[in-house]
Amino acid sequence: MLISSLKIKNFRNYSDIKLNFFPEGALIIGENGIGKTNLLESISYFAFGKSFQTTKDLELINFSKAFFRLEADFTIKNKSHFFEAASDKAKKIIKINKSNIARISELYKYLKVIYFSPNDIEIISGSPVYRRNFIDQAISQYSFDYIEHLRNYKRILKQRNALFKTDYSSNEKRVWDEQFAMAGTKIISFRQKYLINFAPLLEDYYKEISGEKENLSTKYKYSFPNDSEDIMSNIIDYLLQIEDQEKYQERTLAGPHLDDVELFINTHSARKYSSQGQKRSIAIAMRLAQTELIKEKDDDTPILMFDDVLADLDKMRTQRIIEMLKGKHQIFIATPNITNYRSFGLPEIDLNDVIRKTSEIE
């Protein structure tokens, strides 16, 4: 898949610009603060229906303006699609081929964008929430069914938490425990199946990037005792054991919303013991494994976006990544330092020139 044209109006620092892209993508250059990341953000908005930097559309609207509007032409599995997105202070509208989508999550059926962010290193070194967010988004892009299961789980979790603020009966709690455990078991099952395919790819990509023979492995970490294959029963049993604690804290203290995916280098915790270079390499390898699984399932290549994430790597690792990806995807790279990425051979977009020309027209 690829994007061929983009129109931006009142989005972030852009007032009104139009860009055309080559199938190879673009090397987006310009001084710091010119809006390189904002351009990537505008493209990825069509894939996720939201910003990767904020949950509030209001923050995306150009200062003093009332709304933003985005338009783009995409080719998906050799078919052309026209996407529109607009938001003001009251509502958001997203259209595909002139038709409104019923739910934002429908975008996951169409566009697959993989965004390599400088903050991805937090997936390795940060709290479990970063790893859960990664795995949930990766599976959602891989299997659209997961989104509905995740939505259902979060709804039940919210209602179960609300139960603890009431004078509930044991029978009432038992019903919610069973619904919660059933929904949670489905989430865990999706995650485990995904990791079976994801883990070998992750290890291979890490070795290829690093040039090292270290073994990189993953392990699913439960937030409850799970010493048998009957996950649902194990969840229910544990919820009974911790009922007093949950009632005191008025929230659910076990389940996939608290699980983790641990990463190990040669049996040692990558979060605790890996270097910054290793963590950056692992994070990039995770995005590449995510990309490969989508490619295998959809028989189409996701659009890749790099927000200057290769700057922290040495020349050898950067070159290996370039060789892996060159000519295989539409790639967008935002950077203030063009010399690090010229070997990609991508067409260049100088945002200084784009904005200057736009100002002259106005």
For the chain, the domains span 1-112+309-362, 122-299
As given in the structure block, the two tokens for residue 18 are 């139009």
CA angle 104, 108, 109 (to 5 degrees): 110
Q: What is the pLDDT of residue 33?
A: 85
- Put simply, whether the predicted model's pTM sits higher than 0.95 gets the answer no
For the chain, counts of helices (H) and of strands (E)? 12, 14
**Domain 122-299: top CATH class:** mainly alpha
Rounded to whole angstroms, the Cα distance separating 271 from 157 reads 28
Is residue 268 within 8 Å of residue 237, measured between CB atoms?
A: no
Strands across the sheet containing 92-96: 14-20, 2-11, 67-76, 79-88, 92-96, 99-100
User: At how many degrees (to 10) do helices 231-241 and 170-210 cross?
Assistant: 120
For domain 1-112+309-362, which architecture applies? 3-Layer(aba) Sandwich (3.40)
Residue range 283-300, pLDDT digits in tens:
999 999 999 999 999 888
Q: What is the pLDDT of residue 359?
A: 62
CATH topology of 1-112+309-362 equal to that of 122-299?
A: no
Is residue 71 within 8 Å of residue 7, measured between CB atoms?
A: yes
Q: What is the pLDDT of residue 146?
A: 97
Residue range 141-177, pLDDT digits in tens:
999 999 999 999 999 999 999 999 999 999 999 999 9
As given in the structure block, the two tokens for residue 323 are 């060789």
As given in the structure block, the two tokens for residue 347 are 């067409």
Task: Give the residue among 101, 61, 103 at the shortest CA–CA distance from 81.
Answer: 101
As given in the structure block, the two tokens for residue 297 are 């399932």
As given in the structure block, the two tokens for residue 273 are 């013991």
> CA gyration radius for the chain?
22
Q: What is the pLDDT of residue 352?
A: 87
Q: What are the angstrom distances between the C-alpha of 97 and each of 9, 20, 84, 94, 339? A: 19, 19, 8, 10, 39
* 212 DSSP 8-state letter: -
Q: What is the pLDDT of residue 211?
A: 83
Ordered per-residue pLDDT tens for the chain, 362 residues: 999 999 999 999 998 999 999 999 999 998 888 999 999 999 999 999 999 888 899 999 998 899 999 999 999 999 999 999 999 988 999 999 999 999 999 999 999 999 999 899 999 999 999 999 999 999 999 999 999 999 999 999 999 999 999 999 999 999 999 999 999 999 999 999 999 999 999 999 999 988 877 889 999 999 999 987 899 999 999 999 999 999 999 999 999 999 999 999 999 999 999 998 899 999 999 999 999 999 999 888 999 999 988 777 777 888 888 888 888 899 999 988 787 788 888 999 999 888 877 765 55
